[in-house]
């Protein structure tokens, strides 16, 4: 396992600041918490000191495994260092499918509870989900929707299983004579490059059911409200009003709040935020914009 030293990371943050950047910084690491000892004793303490001395110019985002929820000290340090969001590969709520893809750290645990534990620490969870495993049963589509709605994961990236070239899955399917063509590289384009165990047409229909079930306006805005009711952003700069966010707010009013035929959902969320939890209004607007984007990407129509 390779990792950068605290000195390297701090020097990069210095350089970003010198370039005039302020805002989101993504730590591009498939599992940021892979070396917990180094994080707790070297990197995060240095980042905390740096962020305090520079008045918190950045908001950090990264990727981690679900067992982050098992370590309250690590979550506390990450929040103090300025981490506001983490992408977690949930993959599937089905135990057999988790075993099929060797996602052992996700097995034999209450995944919804783990997500809520991370959210409760002040870190928002984005999630990755996949359907199309050989073990998937006909009820898997509803189980995905139920999981995402209960967990309050706003940004749920749902994709169809595909077999990248040279992967173990690719080699297995090749031996079984189930490969069809090369992977397009986009697992959200309603394509699958092998013959699935489930009926192909039913799988594609079920995938559309998941997407519609989480990103059509009614469930999506309900999920935002559920999340915001219980979420207290520990890193307050993510709700700070800036000029660029003000412009984005005006654009959202025009595009989502006036021109969009489902504008009532937007206004209900905005007014709920103003009268119930005004400090999360910037987040409510941000998530509304996210939803508009996701409906475009997934081609969802209410």
Quick one: CATH architecture of 6-161? Alpha-Beta Horseshoe (3.80)
Joined together, the tokens standing for residue 144 give 């995905």
The residue written with tokens 């209004």 in the block is 281
Q: From the CA atom positions of the chain, what is the Rg in Å?
A: 20
Residues of the chain predicted below pLDDT 70: 235-241, 302
Per the rule left: phi > 0, alpha: psi between -120 and 50, beta: everything else, 31 is: beta
What integer pLDDT is reported at residue 183 of this predicted model? Answer: 87
- Name residues whose C-beta falls within 8 Å of residue 24's C-beta, 6 or more positions apart in sequence: 58, 59, 60, 61
The answer to whether 46 and 81 are in contact (CB under 8 A) is no
pLDDT given at position 240: 64
Q: What are phi and psi of 53, to 5 degrees?
A: -70, -20
Contacts of 7 (CB under 8 A, 6+ apart): none
**Is there a contact between 59 and 84 (Cβ–Cβ < 8 Å)?**
yes
Angstrom CA distances, 85 to 80, 81, 215, 217, 240, stand at 13, 12, 20, 23, 16
**pLDDT value at position 132?**
97
- pTM of the complete model: 0.92
Q: At what angle do helices 217-230 and 111-120 cross, to 10 degrees?
A: 60
């Amino acid at each position: 396992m390779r990792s950068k030293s605290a000195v390297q990371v701090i020097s990069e943050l210095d350089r970003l600041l010198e370039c005039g950047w302020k805002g989101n910084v993504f730590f591009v690491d498939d599992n940021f918490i892979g070396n917990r000892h180094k994080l707790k004793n070297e990197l995060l303490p240095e980042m905390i000191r740096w962020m305090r001395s520079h008045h918190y110019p950045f908001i950090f985002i990264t990727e981690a495994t679900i067992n982050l929820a098992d370590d309250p000290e690590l979550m506390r340090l990450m929040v103090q260092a300025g981490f506001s969001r983490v992408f977690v590969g949930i993959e599937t709520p089905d135990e057999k499918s988790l075993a099929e893809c060797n996602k052992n750290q996700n097995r034999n645990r209450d995944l919804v509870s783990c997500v809520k534990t991370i959210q409760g620490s002040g870190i928002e969870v984005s999630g990755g989900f996949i359907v199309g495993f050989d073990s998937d049963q006909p009820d898997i589509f509803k189980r995905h929707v139920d999981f995402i709605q209960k967990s309050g994961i706003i940004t749920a990236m749902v994709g169809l299983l595909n077999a990248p070239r040279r992967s173990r899955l690719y080699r297995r399917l090749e031996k079984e004579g189930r490969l069809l063509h090369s992977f397009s590289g986009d697992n959200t384009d309603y394509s699958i490059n092998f013959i699935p165990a489930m009926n192909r047409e039913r799988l594609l229909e079920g995938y559309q059911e998941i997407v519609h079930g989480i990103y059509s306006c009614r469930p999506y805005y309900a999920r935002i409200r559920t999340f915001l009711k219980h979420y207290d952003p520990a890193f307050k700069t993510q709700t700070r009003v800036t000029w660029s966010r003000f412009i984005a707010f005006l654009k959202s009013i025009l595009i989502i709040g006036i021109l969009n035929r489902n504008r009532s959902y937007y206004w209900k969320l905005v007014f709920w935020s103003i009268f119930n939890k005004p400090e999360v209004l910037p987040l409510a607007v941000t998530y509304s914009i996210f939803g508009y984007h996701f409906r475009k990407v997934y081609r969802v129509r209410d």
